[in-house]
Amino acid sequence: MVVRTKVSSSGAESELNLGLLMFIPYRAMEKEVLDALAAAGFDDVTLAQARVFQRINANGSRLTELAEAAQLTKQTVGFLVDQLERAGYVERTPDPRDRRARLVRVADRGAAAVRASAGVVAEIEARWAEHLGPARTAQLREALTALREITDPYA
């Protein structure tokens, strides 16, 4: 569990941990993107579905890969992918590396949702950059990119 704040003996709040400081703006972006997608007609995507959907590789992903990347069980991811498939966001196709396996790929409707969300993400990043200024934005991007070296097993 992540503790949001601690109160010191003087009654002052201590600093938030770095993980939470990174998560708060991400969650704000995530919400704004989902709201914009809903307004654009993609109103049947849940947060859980979106978190799995965004992890689909450009060439498709196996359920086991998605489950590992999303840190969810294969059964949970299978359930979410079933929902995404019924809504037309993804499709399952044979894996060319192993015909017994299936790949989850982004379908046409999913690609349209990705295009719709890309503009929203760009707008949010532009607002953040305006707020932080060019130097701090560059420093933030550089620092977060460097953190990927020790935190992202898929980098």
User: Of 87, 91, 28, whose CA–CA distance to 56 is shortest?
Assistant: 91
> Which tens digits make up the pLDDT trace of 90-100?
999 999 998 88
- 3-state SS class at 104: strand
> Which tens digits make up the pLDDT trace of 36-83?
999 999 999 999 999 999 999 999 999 999 999 999 999 999 999 999
Contact, 60 vs 95, CB < 8 A?
yes
What CA–CA distance (Å, rounded) separates 78 from 34? 21
91 phi, psi to nearest 5 deg = -140, 155
Contact, 137 vs 129, CB < 8 A?
yes
pTM of the model: 0.83
